[in-house]
Amino acid sequence: MDLHGKRRLIVVFGVGTAAAIALASTVLWFTGSGGDNGTPQARAQQAGLPSEGAQALGAAASASASPSASTAGACARPVGAAPAVRVTDVPVGSSVTGYGREGDTDPLPMAIAARPDGGSWLAWLGTDGKVHLGRLDCADKLVGTPTTFTGIDLQDVQADATGGVLLLTRKGTCGGGTLCGGSASPCNTMHMIRFDLNGQQVWERQVTNLTGGRTGYDDGARFVWWYQHHGRLAYDGTNYAAYFGVAITVKNGACVDIHEGDRMQVVGPNGALVPGHDSFEVGCSHSWTTRIAWDPRTKHFAMVCATDNACRIAQPNPYRTVAAGTCDGTLFGGDLVLAQPKGYWTAWSQGGTARLERFTTGASDQHIGTTAKTAHPHLVAYGSGRMLLAWESGASMTAQAYDTTVGKTVGGTFPIGVKDHAYQAFKAYPDGSVAYPAAGGNATTIRVARVLPMG
């Protein structure tokens, strides 16, 4: 089934008719420059459905095209009674870094950000040593010409009404210090890059601390080494916060030891570092996931990490256990969303099974076991009072909606037809939809999966 060019795949789950149930509660239809493919029978056959399901398909397609259908947001995306997935191929005109091993020290290929107007910023790491940034319209199609920024690794992108911020890694300098053990490795730096509505740079700010007088092998350095260094951004309406893995240089006699932890820094609207605001030099020890969200109810940034300090999912600075784990190589922290009416939900995995925990300022007060067999769960807010748990399932993904009050499932599981990446993130949109960037059908295409709003 060809999904390239201007064709898009939309999958709707839980149509509700007997015929739809007989068709595994899935209806597929296509839109694009090719136009309608004719009768419901023809569309059903193209979608790989039996011809007896054509009547249900025709009814669903007619309902979806009705002018009275409910829509949400400036993009007027359709609102359904059950999750619907639209997958769009985005030709970006340059080669995108591949997934590789998807490890905590490997490059992150791509990230997406929700714009307030319903569109997106799509960022990707090219094979040309640049981070690329393009603007997507309401249909998740690239508009205009992408811009590029110097960067050897991409971490995240977030958006606001006047542009947005990229979090990326650049080459730094180790200097002439001597390591107490181990082999040399590049000493890199982490940066926020502020861009405007045209994708052009406004300012940049290093959030590690290497300078002309402090290199990576100097005592007190905070930089990016070979250790885990993925990071995430959050926005409080004025300032951006970056929470990321960091290398920590400590003098040990005539040589230096390099440790790994995480770090959170806040940058103001003019590009200056802002003290306070929940920022810290070093938080969790040997953390391999760092997750952050802004809570407008408490006016604080909330964070969780996966750490080998007591082998747990924890809040940093100071340490507070959210969920106890085991350092067996399978402990993983997967995203953070606001709970209702207060607190937070986080997804995590141990032993190949995902869990959900609800907490406020300390240990989890509600544990939800799931049927998701995954080492790397994703969690994202999904409209009002709901969240979406997603995970790898074969060559694609599976998702399940939950309410954000008690963690009750909402409907059943449904597929998302794109390839998962352990460290890439779903993003929530103002209209109640969510989007995820994934590998495309070739090296110069990115596939955007959008779960449309649910009523």
Tell me what pLDDT residue 226 has: 86
Q: How confident is the model at residue 183 (pLDDT cuts 50, 70, 90)?
A: confident
Flag whether pLDDT at 15 surpasses 80: no
**Mean pLDDT estimate for the chain:** 87
Domain contains 353: no
Give the 3-state secondary structure of residue 278.
coil
Tell me what pLDDT residue 228 has: 83
Q: Which long-range contacts (CB under 8 A, 24 or more apart) does 101-105 make?
A: 102/376, 102/421, 102/422, 102/423, 103/422, 104/228, 104/230, 104/245, 104/288, 104/289, 104/423, 105/226, 105/227, 105/228, 105/229
What would the mean pLDDT of 301-315 be, rounded to a whole number?
A: 97
pLDDT tens, residue by residue, 99-109: 999 988 899 99
- For 103, other C-beta atoms within 10 Å of its C-beta total 12
Domain contains 2: no
Are 342 and 297 within 8 A, CB to CB?
Answer: yes
- Going from the C-alpha of 64 to that of each of 31, 68, 126, 219, the distances in angstroms are 12, 9, 38, 62
What would the mean pLDDT of 352-379 be, rounded to a whole number?
A: 97
Token couple for 249: 């240089």
pLDDT tens, residue by residue, 280-304: 999 999 999 999 999 999 999 999 9
Domain contains 65: yes
Q: Say how many domains are in the chain.
A: 1
Domain contains 34: yes
Beta strands in 296-385 (DSSP E): 300-307, 312-315, 320-324, 332-338, 344-350, 353-359, 366-369, 378-381
Domain contains 219: no
Flag whether pLDDT at 2 surpasses 90: no
Beta bridge partners of 337: 345
pLDDT tens, residue by residue, 27-42: 233 222 233 333 333 3
Domain contains 15: yes
CA dihedral of 78, 79, 80, 81, whole degrees rounded to 10: -170
Closest-CA residue to 248 (of 207, 205, 281, 275): 281
Query: How are strands ordered across the β-sheet holding 120-125?
Result: 110-114, 120-125, 130-136, 142-150
Are 191 and 205 within 8 A, CB to CB?
Answer: yes
Domain contains 127: no
Tell me the percentage of the chain whose pLDDT exceeds 70. Answer: 85
- For 3, other C-beta atoms within 10 Å of its C-beta total 17
Token couple for 396: 């694609």
Tell me what pLDDT residue 69 has: 61
pLDDT tens, residue by residue, 191-210: 999 999 999 999 999 999 99
Candidate from 7-21, 83-97, 257-271 with smallest mean pLDDT: 7-21
Domain contains 23: yes
Flag whether pLDDT at 16 surpasses 90: no
Give the 3-state secondary structure of residue 54.
helix
Domain range for 56 is 8-69
pTM score of the predicted model: 0.86
Distance CA 239, CA 297 (A): 16
Beta bridge partners of 224: 188
pLDDT tens, residue by residue, 211-264: 989 999 999 999 999 888 899 999 999 999 999 999 999 999 999 999 999 999
Tell me what pLDDT residue 29 has: 30
Distance CA 418, CA 449 (A): 7
Are 130 and 138 within 8 A, CB to CB?
Answer: no
What would the mean pLDDT of 407-435 be, rounded to a whole number?
A: 98
Tell me what pLDDT residue 350 has: 97
pLDDT tens, residue by residue, 53-82: 333 323 333 333 333 369 999 999 999 999
